[in-house]
Amino acid sequence: MKANELREKTVAELNEQLNALYRDQFSARMQKSTGQLAQTHLTGSIKKEIARIKTIITEKEKVGS
């Protein structure tokens, strides 16, 4: 998801999406370790998406203060 699309969401929605990404990341890591993950590039893209959401949450918190 693009950063502009994420900025339109509320902090609560971003936190929900962040939790879902953490679950996806854990699942992908477990599949990779057992050799079941066919698309190994997903771990990196999930990590970048988590960082993007965390950055936007921090931006929103600084503006709100």
* Any domain includes 36: yes
- Model pTM? 0.89
Q: What is the CATH number of the domain that holds 10?
A: 1.10.287
pLDDT (tens digit per residue) in 2-20: 889 999 999 999 999 999 9
Q: Write out the DSSP string of 7-25.
A: HTS-HHHHHHHHHHHHHHH
Q: What are phi and psi of 13, to 5 degrees?
A: -65, -40
Confidence of residue 65 (pLDDT cuts 50, 70, 90): low
* Domain of 49, in residue numbers: 3-60
In the prediction, which pLDDT does 1 show?
78
d(CA 22, CA 40): 16
